[in-house]
Each structure stands twice: as C-alpha cells, then as structure tokens.
Amino acid sequence: MDLLPKTNDGYARKQYWEDRYARRVDDAVFDWFKSFAEIESILTELIPNKTSRILMLGCGNSPLSEQMYDAGYTNIVNIDYSANVIAKMKARTQDRPLMTWQEMDIRSLEFPAESFDVAIDKGTMDALLAVKGDVWNPPSSAVKDCNQEVDEVLRVLIPGGLFIYLTFGQPHFRKQYLTREHTSLEIRKLGESFHYFLYLLRRSLAFHET
C-alpha cells in the first residue's frame, strides 16, 4: 500500500498522518533524515546531562526516542497530533516506562512555561512547509505555523534551553523562522554529497517569560 500522499502538500495535513498511521503497513518504524547512530555523537555533545527534560516534537513512529532512552536519556516527552501514532507508540514502548507520549499540536503546546531543557524537531517543521506555492515566498499560513512552533518551543524552554532542529532545509529557507530576540542561533552542515542542516537555537539565560 502506498504511504505517500498524492501531492506533496499532503504532508502538511493532519488527516494524511492519521490515515497513514491507521494502516497496519506502517506499524514498523520510520526515520526521517539522519538515524540516531549518525547523530549520537552530536546529541551527546549538545545534551551532556542525560537527566535533561527533553521534548520530542512531532515524534511520529521514529525510533529516535527509544534509542535515546536506551542510551540513557529517559526523561523524554513525545508529542504528535496524530492520535493513531501516539496510541501505537505507547503500546510499543511499554518497556520504557519513564518516557511519555501525548497527543498534542506543536503550534499550541499544553505545557507550562520553562518546562524543558531541550526540544528536538527532526523534520517536523518541514512537514508544515510542504505546501503549494513558491518556496522563496511560502503561503502566510505556513509562515504562521512555523513561527507558532518556534514561539511555543521558546516559551516552554528554560532560560539557556536548546531547540535542536534537523532538516534538509537550507538557511535561506529556514533562518527566517529561527531568528528571535533573546536567543542565539548556530547552524551546522552535516553530510558530504547531500547536506542536512542542524539549527541550534538557544534561549538566552537572561530572558524570562512574563
């Protein structure tokens, strides 16, 4: 059974993901972009404290959280707006009881301010941008969605907290969503023949929610 949407903008629609994760054919794991093995050393560098409170944004059925858990990062909250995938992941990870799964929209996080040390997005913002239109000038709805995600992430990060975003999106397409006051942004290029980009947005220690 074909899991791909009929058009690329299907990736930006919640119903596509609900339907996809409802199919038994997609019960297996699926990892977007780099695998945990490929980025483990980077994550170890960026998150040296394994007790860090970590928010996984748009977790899908990626094995990343499970593999991080097995590497010692047990304080992980996974969210996705697909009820189907959250139910499946809860069932699949019963042997990792310290990790939690919640149905939630990344554009409207249901957590108090300053709840997490780290937030990770591995391709989720890319789905928000999978819409029809000019990639240089995306629709205002897509811009709003991306800005809402980043604003919400910064709200729930502690001062000094880190937003890790892994994508194939080049800086001239992504940097506009990740430029904020009271933050610092570092961009790393990964890979050789085909490049991925790692955006590291850190909230200022001096900035507090009011």
Domains by residue range for the chain, with CATH? 8-203 (3.40.50.150)
Are residues 176 and 122 in contact, defined by beta-carbon separation less than 8 angstroms? no
What confidence tier does 1 reach under pLDDT thresholds 50, 70, 90? Answer: very low
d(CA 191, CA 99): 30
If DSSP codes are grouped into helix, strand and coil, which group holds residue 55? strand
Model confidence pLDDT, tens digit, residues 30-59: 666 778 999 999 999 999 999 999 999 999
Kindly give the residue spans of alpha helices, DSSP state H, lying in the chain: 14-22, 36-46, 64-70, 83-92, 124-128, 140-156, 171-174
pTM, two decimals, is: 0.84
Pick from 28, 14, 105, 37: which is nearest to 61 by CA? Answer: 28
